[in-house]
Amino acid sequence: MARALITGGAGFIGSHLAEKLLDRGDEVYIIDDLSTGSINNIAHLKANPKFHYVIDIMSHEPVLAELVDLSDTVYHLAAAVGVFLVVESPVYTIENTVRGTELVLKWANKKKKKVLITSTSEVYGKSTRIPFNEADDLVIGPSSMGRWSYACSKLLDEFLALAHHREHNLPVVVARLFNTVGPRQSGRYGMVIPRFVSQALNGQPLTVFGTGQQSRCFTYVGDTVNALVGLMDHPETAGQLYNVGNPEEITIETLARRIITRTNSKSEIRYVPYSEAYSEGFEDMSRRVPDIAKVQQAIGYQPTVGLDEILDRVIAFIRQEQLTGTHP
């Protein structure tokens, strides 16, 4: 039996990861301050005697240190999420992201616990080289644009993690996630699929930012979780970083139309300029497509859930939440 700590374990991805590890018999500890996670995400896990949760901030070092000490492996998922939060609270984004990773690595290094750091496709910035490969140069926008603070914070996480591997021989692996989606994801911070689905089910206009011609690739949360566990379990992934995503690409406008169709909604599409949705001068990436050859070669990763099935599962989940009155 393995013992795993998940930071941000009451979040969308963290709760699915906890579920996966418990299902295979692991003992799971989580820490979450519920700033973007939800106790509802882990309510169904509380009865499991191998599940332990702590509601606390990452910077409470005695608590974090004890949890790391109790665990064999650490999945570090805790971070600010969503473009809305990044734009509105850049100080929080930068300080919490970097400080949390610093502390996790510090305490994991004491006893050389293997750590998985989740990063983001945002670190590729404004690169136009498609698909994005782990060895590519990164093209980040100017520091005067707060929108890039999240990408730079997560990039610093990567540098710090890999430096610990080189300098201290800490077993660390970095996973760059590309738009993970599925049940339990909130649209509160700008996540596009749950936001569109909620709007469509309520008969509201689907708000598409910009022209809608920007494209994204969406990965089912179960596929992401399988990749994270596979990377953590593999003995030769330490010191490496991997893209984790699904190369199936779709424009945001087409996504909106597909959700309207699959929900049988009468909603229309309303186009909102970036300056109105976020801030003046906001920049977005036109495409984000992962090259997943490296993770495929390492652990045999292959996405198993296509976009239409992802949408149907999210639609069913949000419909059920609306029926029970639990949808935020």
Catalytically active residues, by annotation? 150
Largest CA distance in the chain: 58
- Hey, what are 265's tokens? 């909604």
Q: Are 128 and 116 in contact (CB under 8 A)?
A: no
Residues counted in the chain: 328
